[in-house]
Structure 1
Amino acid sequence: MSVAQTENLNIATVDHMPSPEEIKARVPLSDRAAATVLAGRKALADILEGRDKRLFVVVGPCSIHDPVAGLDYARRLKALADEVSDTMLLVMRVYFEKPRTSTGWKGFINDPFMDDSFRIDVGMEKARRFLLDVCEIGLPTGTEALDPNAPQYYGDLVTWTAIGARTSESQTHREMASGLSTPVGFKNATDGDLEVAINAIISAAHPHSFLGINGQGQSAILRTRGNRHGHVVLRGGGGRPNYDTVSVSLAEQALAKAKLPVNIVVDCSHANSWKKPELQPLVMKDVIHQIREGNRSVVGLMIESNLEAGNQAIPADLSQLKYGCSVTDACVGWDTTVDMIRSAHGVLRDALARRERA
């Protein structure tokens, strides 16, 4: 009597994926890149622990799809970062993985050629190469951790990590965050619920043991120490923004009640701007005004920005893609980005001198 097949009934193929060690050998960490990462992480820790009064600003494309345009953006951002370094630490937003509500392009790692070939092996190596190039420019990077195995491939090149609104409630992502080497921002849920993010911060601060992979790509039990630099990211939700003074005050109270550091990052995009990029400057202006008026809890901001404003659909003929324009969420353009950062810099120079952290 033959044994009935009971597994892999919906698996079409199983393709080889290089191990993290193989990818790192092809794209090794350089001394300059390592120095950028370590300096960025230390600066973030100092901001979160109140030793550094500056804000950190995670700014960049909604997603990376063209490394050439991405590096063009990075070089411009590095010059701007140097200009405002006395008030802000600029971290380039480098997002390779895109969680989709239903369907759509899943990002540069998953489908680097944007043709549904899903060459994840190629995408992972290209993503690591891009992060290395940005770090060698001297610019720290921030990304969203979605696939639990991905940090093994490029986590050594990341300065700040976000856990998205869809995954802050996920035990898998809380466990992963507990072992990441970066500070981690947990976004409130898509319905606006802040408790999800607060519980995630508490969970990730504790040690965990979970199933993952090691450098050789083998299944392994990962045992973590816990991440003490978790913080909340307000991104709006449930049909309303949550960057206003009242919402920030309520977030402060919730963090204090949970006996957590009162560190808040405001995402100027997503529900806080009703996904209208032209509203992001107004959100940022409002938050900077709160700081000028005495707010002590806001430590960072997020901006979705690209070389060109707006977004575009992915055409069948990829040669028709508009250079430097998002293929996912719409972004503010470069000129607007510069205006936002410089305007904030002008206000913060005086405001931060008077600011005392809680």
Structure 2
Amino acid sequence: MWYNQFRKIQKAGDLMGMTVNKELPLPADLKSEEPLTADIIALKQKRDREIRDIFTGASDKFAVIVGPCSADNEDSVCEYVSRLAKLNDSVSDRLVLIPRIYTNKPRTTGAGYKGMLHQPEPDKAPDLLAGIIAIRRMHIRAIKESGLTAADEMLYPENRSYLDDILSYEAIGARSVENQQHRLTASGMDIPAGMKNPTSGDFSVMLNSVTAAQSSHNFIYRGQDVTTDGNPLAHVILRGGVDKYGTCIPNYHYEDLMRLLAQYQKRELNNPAAVIDTNHSNSDKQFKEQLRIVSEVLHSRAYNSELKKLIKGVMIESYIEEGCQPIGSNRVYGKSITDPCLGWEDTRRLILKIAEEA
């Protein structure tokens, strides 16, 4: 009785300062409208095994999670991923390329473009119904055209249900990693979940998140009472931090990696692993620095065999055209509208270099 009454109030309009714009389909309903083919399901299973083997240590391949800061246009994203697929053919004996198709964009102040999930057309008003359809279609098209399954960021835990049958990797961002719902949701994933260090750069917060994600939990998820198994593939992502004065403090240097190794050794965690995010506070968003940072990370791995086992991959922000641009009517195709990215030629050369040295 009370539930039906609540629904009537909710549908009537404003509720505690919140306007209900429209009801969204259940994830199961959207999946039935935009289903995966048997070929895609089999491909994802194969890719998931390949990526899992990196994080368990069964494979010595190196993961390269690479792509735009934010996926803002289906055509340019799918073209980019198809270019990656061709490159993957020549490096697949050493690397596993995982396209970044990030459909949610965290905003420090709440202002600005929040990703395709919010705005399928960046210069138009938010439309979440169109958004959830657009991101699912884009991910499916990218897989069909490239044969590569992708990574996305779990910015909103309950929204991942619209893509949880598609993704092969998920990242939990610096602003989300301390959030209980993110940690518990990650504990129910069966794919690698990368927990970034918070914006403060604190390693202990990040490792506490890994501990939580690797454990079993009972909680409310999408209106259901659920229990998770724990995710043994949860691991850390180092993305640099910011001190109290707003100065970026990188954490990809050899000393930082050794400190991380020591902290991992003090904890009883499954599959110790780290991915190094070469942009954000590690590069101070100087996107060309990613080239140098990758080289330093590879050198540290080559110098220390324990670090070689720990550092499983790098994360690189890259698009067709380098740099970034404002949202406007004359946007350059394949150029970021959020953080600046490496261009394709630099990316291609960098991936070939990683394949030689990793």
Is the TM value for this pair above 0.5?
A: yes
CA contact (8 A) 2:52 2:191 kept: no
Listed one character per residue, the Cα deviations across residues 113-140 of structure 1 (whole Å, up to 9, x for unaligned) are 2245221111111101111112222102
> Are 2:136 and 1:111 equivalent residues in the alignment?
no
- 2:235 corresponds in structure 1 to 231
- 1:257 corresponds in structure 2 to 266
Among 169, 172, 181, which residue is 2:181 paired with? 172
Amino acid at match of 2:130: V
- 1:134 corresponds in structure 2 to 142
> Are 2:37 and 1:27 equivalent residues in the alignment?
no
Q: How many residues align?
A: 336
Residue 13 of structure 1: CA displacement? 3.3
Q: What SS does the aligned partner of 2:171 have?
A: strand
Listed one character per residue, the Cα deviations across residues 203-223 of structure 1 (whole Å, up to 9, x for unaligned) are 11111122222xxxxx22222
CA distance in 1 between counterparts of 2:226 and 2:123 reads 35
Among 129, 132, 135, which residue is 1:124 paired with? 132
Pairs within 5 Å for 1:131-280: 131-136=139-144, 137-213=146-222, 219-238=223-242, 239-260=248-269, 261-280=271-290
Among 322, 333, 346, which residue is 1:323 paired with? 333
CA contact (8 A) 2:63 2:98 kept: yes
TM-score norm. by structure 1 comes to 0.91
> Are 2:312 and 1:299 equivalent residues in the alignment?
yes
> Are 2:53 and 1:40 equivalent residues in the alignment?
no
Amino acid at match of 2:312: V
TM-score norm. by structure 2 comes to 0.91
Amino acid at match of 1:131: H
Listed one character per residue, the Cα deviations across residues 21-62 of structure 1 (whole Å, up to 9, x for unaligned) are 221122101122212321222112211111100111100001
Which 10-residue stretch deviates more, 253-262 or 170-179? Answer: 253-262
CA distance in 2 between counterparts of 1:264 and 1:11 reads 40
Amino acid at match of 1:300: G
Q: What SS does the aligned partner of 2:321 have?
A: coil
- 2:245 corresponds in structure 1 to none
Which 10-residue stretch deviates more, 20-29 or 85-94? Answer: 20-29
Residue segments in structure 2 that go unaligned for 5+ positions in a row:
1-8, 243-247
- 2:342 corresponds in structure 1 to 332
CA distance in 2 between counterparts of 1:161 and 1:196 reads 18
Listed one character per residue, the Cα deviations across residues 85-127 of structure 1 (whole Å, up to 9, x for unaligned) are 1111000001001111011111100111224522111111110
CA distance in 2 between counterparts of 1:257 and 1:48 reads 19
CA contact (8 A) 2:177 2:198 kept: yes
Q: Flag as ranges the 4+ runs of structure 1 deviating above 4 A.
A: none
Identity %: 33
Amino acid at match of 2:238: L
CA distance in 2 between counterparts of 1:302 and 1:221 reads 34
CA distance in 1 between counterparts of 2:206 and 2:142 reads 29
Among 282, 285, 292, which residue is 1:282 paired with? 292
- 1:356 corresponds in structure 2 to none
RMSD: 1.5
Residue segments in structure 1 that go unaligned for 5+ positions in a row:
214-218, 349-358
Residue 346 of structure 1: CA displacement? 1.7
CA distance in 2 between counterparts of 1:104 and 1:118 reads 11
CA contact (8 A) 2:298 2:357 kept: yes
CA contact (8 A) 1:61 1:331 kept: yes
